């Protein structure tokens, strides 16, 4: 049965949030803190589905380690079960964003010729290294450039390069444009200032979309007992402060996503969540659906 939100946009192209957590999800392996204690809601790694009910086609942005559960969630949310998946867009090669591709191979789904779109370096990595290259050799996937991709006459997906610890591959976000609306999926970036330096500004991008799911991995700098300077991401509090001072009118388009298991934004009753909502932004929710 479709969720009430999906029912409201039934028949219209839309996107569905299938995960909101950082790569390790929640609970995260080995974590014995309260954030991952028994009874806390499970949260899958960040993933967005694009759905066209007119044709029954479904595509994913990122193939996470939770791919089986996310595909089941997609079936249950949309009521579309005739097709499994029609393609995958990959943002980059950190573990929460591409390792779910293993489920497409002969040991699991054994799909046939599913297109995978990604950046140049990630395509080269997949083609050159096991077990990924076996997916290509065995005919399970075909790999393509992630330039502007036309999923239908009125649905396009455009890659947006972003700076982000590119030790393994390049990194992109995706702009999805549908018949009536456009959205941005940008789960990882080093900092908004790094984007500023190459002439791309968060405010300008937000101006072009109706909804933007953006990187909020950490709320602040004191969440981990590690050197957090080695884990560059925009801190959600700093993002709120930036937009509140530069373009407060854009805050209602913002949905914070890619939340580390330690992030207090995962608690809907936390003061940080209340601060976010008071500013006009929102924390992404697993199962959110938006027409495009």
* 101-135 confidence digits (pLDDT tens): 999 999 999 999 999 999 999 999 999 999 999 99
Residue 6 predicted with pLDDT over 60: no
Confidence band of 8 (pLDDT split at 50, 70, 90): low
Residue 183 predicted with pLDDT over 50: yes
Residue 268: phi and psi, rounded to 5, are: -65, -15
| CATH assignment of the domain containing 98 | 3.60.15.10
Please give the tally of structural domains in the chain: 1
pLDDT for residue 217 = 95
Which of 124, 49, 61 lies closest to 292, judged by CA? 49
pLDDT for residue 4 = 44
Q: Which domain holds residue 198?
A: 4-291
Please answer whether residues 159 and 120 qualify as being in contact, where contact means their C-beta atoms are separated by less than 8 angstroms: no
Residue 138 predicted with pLDDT over 90: yes
Q: Round to whole Å and give the CA distance between 22 and 3.
A: 25
Residue 277 predicted with pLDDT over 50: yes
- pTM for the full model? 0.94
Residue 151 predicted with pLDDT over 70: yes
Residue 182: phi and psi, rounded to 5, are: -130, 145
- 34-63 pLDDT, tens digit per residue, is 888 988 889 999 999 999 999 999 999 999
Residue 1 predicted with pLDDT over 70: no
């Amino acid at each position: 049965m479709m969720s009430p939100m999906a029912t409201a946009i039934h028949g219209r192209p839309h996107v569905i949030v299938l995960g909101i957590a950082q790569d390790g999800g929640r609970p995260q392996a080995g974590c014995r803190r309260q954030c991952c204690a028994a009874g806390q809601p499970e949260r899958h790694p960040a993933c967005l589905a694009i759905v066209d009910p007119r044709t029954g086609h479904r595509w994913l942005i990122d193939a996470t380690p939770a791919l089986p559960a996310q595909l089941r969630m997609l079936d249950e949310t949309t009521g579309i079960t005739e097709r499994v998946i029609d393609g995958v867009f990959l943002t980059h090669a950190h573990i929460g964003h591409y390792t779910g591709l293993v489920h497409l191979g002969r040991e699991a789904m054994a799909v046939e010729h599913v297109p995978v779109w990604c950046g140049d370096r990630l395509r080269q990595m997949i083609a050159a290294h096991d077990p990924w290259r076996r997916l290509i050799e065995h005919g399970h996937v075909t790999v393509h450039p992630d330039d502007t991709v036309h999923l239908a006459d009125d649905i396009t997906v455009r890659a947006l390069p972003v700076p982000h610890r590119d030790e393994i591959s390049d990194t992109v976000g995706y702009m999805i444009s549908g018949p009536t609306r456009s959205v941005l999926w940008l789960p990882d970036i080093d900092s908004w200032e790094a984007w500023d330096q190459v002439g791309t500004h968060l405010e300008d991008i937000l101006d072009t979309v109706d909804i933007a799911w953006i990187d909020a991995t950490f709320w602040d700098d004191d969440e981990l007992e590690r050197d957090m300077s080695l884990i560059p991401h925009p801190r959600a509090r700093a993002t709120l402060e930036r937009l509140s001072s530069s373009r407060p009118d854009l805050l209602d388009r913002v949905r914070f996503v890619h939340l580390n298991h330690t992030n207090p934004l995962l608690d809907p009753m936390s003061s940080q969540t209340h601060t976010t909502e008071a500013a006009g932004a929102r924390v992404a929710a697993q199962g959110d659906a938006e027409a495009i």
